[in-house]
Structure 1
Amino acid sequence: MTKPVIISCAITGSLHVPSMSPYLPITPDQIAQESIAAAEAGAAILHLHARDPQTGRPTASTDVFRAFLPRIKQATDAVVNISTGGAPGMAMDDRLAASEWASPEMTSLNMGSINVGLFPAASKIKEYRFDWEQPFLEGSRDNVFKNTFKDIEMILDRLGKGHGCRFEFECYDIGHLYNLAHFLERGLYEPPLFIQFCLGILGGIGAEIDHLLHMVRTAQRLFGTDFEWSVLAAGRHQMPMATQNILLGGNARVGLEDSLTISRGQLAHSNAQQVAKLAGIIDSLGYAVATPAQARDRLRLKGADQVRF
């Protein structure tokens, strides 16, 4: 029988800027409220970044994470998954600071360096709320999202070995799957794997069914059957690719980090709206939505009682 579908929800991210949507959560209160509502709508995993509450700019400040992580844990049983990707321009120590303070059950781990092209969005924004936004987007013309082999080894050691964290392995292209296989061959991580196929980011693999199939089949050749996979797709591709992946036997990620819309041309009013829509699709296909307990069991997480927040 098909296993229940694990829904992840990426609440705010670090690539969208506030001027793109008035519904993008910025403050700790907004991030906490959005996270709790997303969990109530069916998200088993909450993928979290932080933002400066005054400007909306992505931040690595542990003080900001401290302002919302305990509230989320107290109000929901969802798995907290802290990003180690941070934001463009962040040093690695900054990217890991929140996770090393919080010692969460799960963090993200990007499996290779890529170009991340945000600059096409700059020309579509007619009025900016904050003066940092346009330079931030335009700066992506000459920025590399750095994730070297040394960086990945460091995260596996500091968070995996050091804190018992499990990882959402974010793969933006086929080569990232081979990078992951390399680290498994060296014995630096033990299955089961949770692989997130990231589609539709300018600089990574496109959001097309042929590419998704190629990534799934490649992962099956490399890792056999001892892995869980999910898909996130940027922008308007979010729901179609999530649906395709569910039909392939996988899981799915939604959230305002990945797409600001609920349907073509219509802004989503909340993360919970996207989660509820996906949960409805899952139900209509005859599948079940996984609970946090089921996600913890399948991904062999250490448990919410083992975190520090």
Structure 2
Amino acid sequence: MNPSTFITCAVTGAGDTAGRSPHVPVTPKQIADACIEAAGAGAAIAHIHVRDPDTGRASRALPLYREVVDRVRTSGTDVILNLTAGMGGDVVFGAGEHPLPLDPAQTDMVGPTERLAHVAALRPEICTLDCGTMNFALGDYVMTNTPATLRAMARQVQALGVRPELEVFDAGHLVFVNDLVKEGLVDGPAMVQLCLGIPYGAPDDPLTLMSLVHRLPAGAVWSAFSIGRRQLPYVAMAALAGGNVRVGLEDNLWLDRGVLATNGALVERAATVLTAMGGSVMGPAAVRRLLNLRGPA
């Protein structure tokens, strides 16, 4: 078991969840407030997507990121900011017998520099790299991250002095993570997030988790999570396996049966689980030392 664990809170995500719970933050102020709430409940890291305030749909607009980051940084709250760099890698094919042309309303494919524009401008301590391509859930959507694109992004993130959180959704993604480390494109320690239970990626059974854990780069600092009703059980699972944990409304809307969660409540529950198991919860300063982060800008 990991005796000292850090909690990441993924506060909103990019999915179509805003209409399913009033607690999913949409506006920059709501997202910033969610980060502050999560930090107050014990999260050391806040993982951030932004949404169009008018539609609730996922966005990668720099002004929205800037407002969220500025609000958190000027609040006096000490929390490590982890900005997604996953946006701009979305391909949605046409349905049925007509996969082409691509769906123009939902496809968003841009190059590495544009995907990282907000990271370059705002210099968070961490940003994500989704380390592979995957049929992501149902329909005709493909999460698209080619090896060349990811290598280019890794070089840019490294030059910016930002720590990449290497997101792994399946076993092949972890092969690529090891390649990035061997090629010197990731400074140590490698930070890896094992993302389980997402159709059609790695399932969230214990054997799959341990198979991935045994293939991590040497010295990696890692976390794991599952989605939906398995999110909170996976707090215990990840810690028992030696890792850190992630909770939040990006991945799960429920605290208990029939009880909608808030980000703060999910973090509080995760902290309760970890301490009840005999562990402790790490604060931001300890996590910065563990991950060799440069500190807030």
TM-score computed with the length of structure 2 as normaliser: 0.89
Distance 1:210 1:186, change over 3 A: same
Match of 2:47 in 1: 47
Match of 2:110 in 1: 92
Match of 1:110 in 2: 130
Q: How does 1:178-197 map to 2 (within 5 A)?
A: 178-197=175-194
Match of 2:95 in 1: none
Deviation at 1:90, TM superposition (A): 2.8
Deviation digits for residues 189-216 of structure 1 (CA, Å, limit 9, x no counterpart): 2220111000011121111111111111
Deviation at 1:3, TM superposition (A): 4.4
Question: The residue matched to 2:33 in structure 1 has which SS?
Answer: helix
Output the amino acid matched with 2:277. Answer: L
Output the amino acid matched with 1:289. Answer: V
Corresponding residue pairs, total: 277
Match of 2:143 in 1: 145
Question: The residue matched to 1:18 in structure 2 has which SS?
Answer: coil
Would you say the 8 A contact 1:172–1:197 is kept in 2?
yes
Counterparts of 2:16 and 2:252, CA distance in 1: 9
The Cα RMSD (Å) is: 1.5
TM-score computed with the length of structure 1 as normaliser: 0.86
Residues 1:244 and 2:208 aligned together: no
Would you say the 8 A contact 1:16–1:257 is kept in 2?
no
Deviation at 1:265, TM superposition (A): 4.3
Q: How does 1:1-309 map to 2 (within 5 A)?
A: 2-75=2-75, 76-86=77-87, 88=90, 89-93=107-111, 94-117=114-137, 119=138, 141-161=139-159, 163-219=160-216, 223-224=217-218, 226-268=219-261, 270-304=262-296, 307=297
Please identify, of 205-214 and 44-53, the stretch whose mean Cα deviation from structure 2 is larger: 205-214
In percent, how many aligned pairs have the same letter?
A: 36
Would you say the 8 A contact 2:181–2:190 is kept in 1?
no
Question: The residue matched to 1:20 in structure 2 has which SS?
Answer: coil
Deviation digits for residues 114-136 of structure 1 (CA, Å, limit 9, x no counterpart): 1111x4xxxxxxxxxxxxxxxxx
Unmatched segments (≥5 aa) in structure 1? 120-140
Would you say the 8 A contact 2:7–2:267 is kept in 1?
yes
Counterparts of 1:277 and 1:146, CA distance in 2: 34
Unmatched segments (≥5 aa) in structure 2? 91-106
The structure whose residues are more often helix, as a share, is 1
